[in-house]
Structure 1
Amino acid sequence: MSQPRQIAPGATYLITRRVVRRHLLFRPDAAITELLIYILAVSSRRYGIEVHALCAMSSHLHLVVTDAKGVLPRFLQFFHRIVALGTKVLRKWEGPVWDHEATSVVRLLTRTAVVEKIAYVLANPVAAGLVRHACEWQGAKVDAAEIGRGALRARRPSAYLNPKNPQWIEVATLPLSLPPTIDDHTAESFRSEVAAEIERQEMLAHAEAQRQGLRFLGPERAGKVSPYERATSFEALRALNPTFAVGHEQGDALRIAAAAVRAFRASYRAALEKWRIGVRDVVFPAGTWWMRTFHGASVTDVVLTV
């Protein structure tokens, strides 16, 4: 049984979804890039999701977003479904697009965590040995310098989407928002921190490639691989599935965050046990989404503190 997840309005997340069996269906070509940006723009506007970072790797997709309205599951369901259907048409692909494992959703609880994870997302093509520098990646992505002041635009793809349906507008715009803890006065320093962290991660990737005697594939070759091939690089089994991150050297933040998660889960389970024996006036902890949405359960507005 999966652990209950707290869905809080205004929370910021790192989201990762993988392609089935590591196929390269998101190979960085113009058609798939347009499809991904367009669907993300429409989906995020529909559900009030603020997008901070994006990087579409050939075999998986990374996002850093803020869920302003507390509807993240609805957004993910809609976004992933339309991406899958569009990709099946575009790639002439039969069968599932997404891996059977659940989407990785990691809540980012500190500024340090947001900086590190955005840099991780944008430097991912370098860490994977595909390009020497993040800016060279040709897939759907965000540049650190554009966070909070830029936007991505895409025309409605011809694959799958019906032009007569009014939700599929001709041109969709995806604003690149600042995370909620960053304002206009601190935006420039924030972007500089992200850029510095990207550079640090690039240097680590270069050193690792040199240690192993490997060469970077390069953007041109990365864009020409067959989308029906599979990634062959070693990937460790994903034994851990973190639900939150605080970043490095954050003192007591890790302990406090872990205690808050335990408190939410304990309160949720206690309420669920009462619900199961017929107590319908039981109150679930703040952030309970499934029981409120699908069963009409009462949920407190008071956030648990530890």
Structure 2
Amino acid sequence: MSQPREISPGATYLITRRVLRRHLLFRPDAAINQFLVYALAVAARRYGIEVHALCAMSTHLHLVVTDVQGALPRFLQFFHRIVALGTKVLRKWEGPVWDHEATSVVRLLTRVAIVEKIAYVLANPVAAGLVRHSREWPGAKVDVGEIGDGMLRAARPSAYLDPENPQWPQEATLPLTLPPTIEQGFAEAFRREIMDELERQEALAHAEVERRGFRFFGAERASNVSPYQRATSSEALRDRNPTFAVGREQGGAWQTAAASVRAFRASYRAALERWRAGVRSAVFPVGTWWMRIFHGVSVNDMVLVV
């Protein structure tokens, strides 16, 4: 049984979802880029999601978003479904698109964590040895300068989506916002922090490529490989799926966050045990989503203090 996850309006997350068996189904080309941006813009507007960063790799997607309305599960279900169905049409692909593992959803609890994870998302093509600088990646992505000052925009793709259905507008747009903890007057300083961290991560990637005696694959080659191939580079087994991140040298914040997660889970399990025993008046902790949406349980309006 999976661990219960707290869903709180206003929380910021790093989201990652991988393609089945590391096939290159999201190989960067005009059609897949258009579909990914359009689907994200429509889904984010539909569920009140603010998008801060995006990088579509050939084998997986990275997002940094803020869940304004506390509807993250609905957003992920809708967005991932549309992406999968559109990809099946574009690639003439039979069978599942997504890896069978659950989507990675990491709550970002500090400014340091947000800066580090946005830089991580943008540096992904460099860390993978594909391009020397993140700006060279030809896939759907956000550049540092666009955060808080840019716009995602895509015309409705001709593949899969019914032009007569009003939920698919002729064009979808979505502003690239600042995280809610960053005031507009401090946007430039925030972007500078991200750029500094991005440069640090790119330098580490350059050193690793050089150490291993490799060369960067190149944007043109990455755009022309077969989407039916599979990535052959080594990848660490995903034996950990973190719930939250606080960033480097944030030990006190980590301890507080870990205690909060433990308190939420303990309270949730106690309420669930009572509910399963027939006590329909059991009160679940704030942040409970599934049981509230699908079973109408009562939720405490008091935040747990740890």
Aligned partner of 2:284 in structure 1 is 284
Deviation track 1:106-126 (CA, whole Å, cap 9, x = no partner) reads: 000000000000000000000
After TM superposition, the score normalised by the length of structure 2 is: 0.99
Aligned partner of 2:194 in structure 1 is 194
The answer as to 2:273 corresponding to 1:270 is no
> Map of 1:1-306 to 2, 5 A cutoff?
1-306=1-306
Give ranges in structure 1 of 5+ residues lacking alignment.
Answer: none
Q: Percent identical across equivalent pairs?
A: 77
How many angstroms does 1:64 deviate by?
Answer: 0.3
How large is the Cα RMSD of the aligned pairs?
0.5
How many angstroms does 1:289 deviate by?
Answer: 0.2
SS in 2 for 1:215: coil
Q: Partner amino acid for 1:247?
A: G
Q: How far, CA to CA, are the matches of 1:293 and 1:9 in structure 2? A: 14
How many angstroms does 1:299 deviate by?
Answer: 0.6
Q: How far, CA to CA, are the matches of 1:13 and 1:251 in structure 2? A: 19
Q: Partner amino acid for 2:100?
A: H
User: Are the aligned partners of 1:37 and 1:174 in contact in 2 as well (CA < 8 Å)?
Assistant: no
SS in 2 for 1:260: helix
After TM superposition, the score normalised by the length of structure 1 is: 0.99
Alignment size in residue pairs = 306
How many angstroms does 1:251 deviate by?
Answer: 3.4
Q: Partner amino acid for 2:58?
A: S
Q: How far, CA to CA, are the matches of 2:186 and 2:256 in structure 1? A: 26
Give ranges in structure 2 of 5+ residues lacking alignment.
Answer: none
Q: How far, CA to CA, are the matches of 1:217 and 1:227 in structure 2? A: 16
Q: How far, CA to CA, are the matches of 1:9 and 1:114 in structure 2? A: 17
- Consecutive aligned runs of 4 or more in structure 1 exceeding 3 Å deviation: none
Q: How far, CA to CA, are the matches of 1:93 and 1:303 in structure 2? A: 46
How many angstroms does 1:236 deviate by?
Answer: 1.3
Q: How far, CA to CA, are the matches of 2:236 and 2:294 in structure 1? A: 36
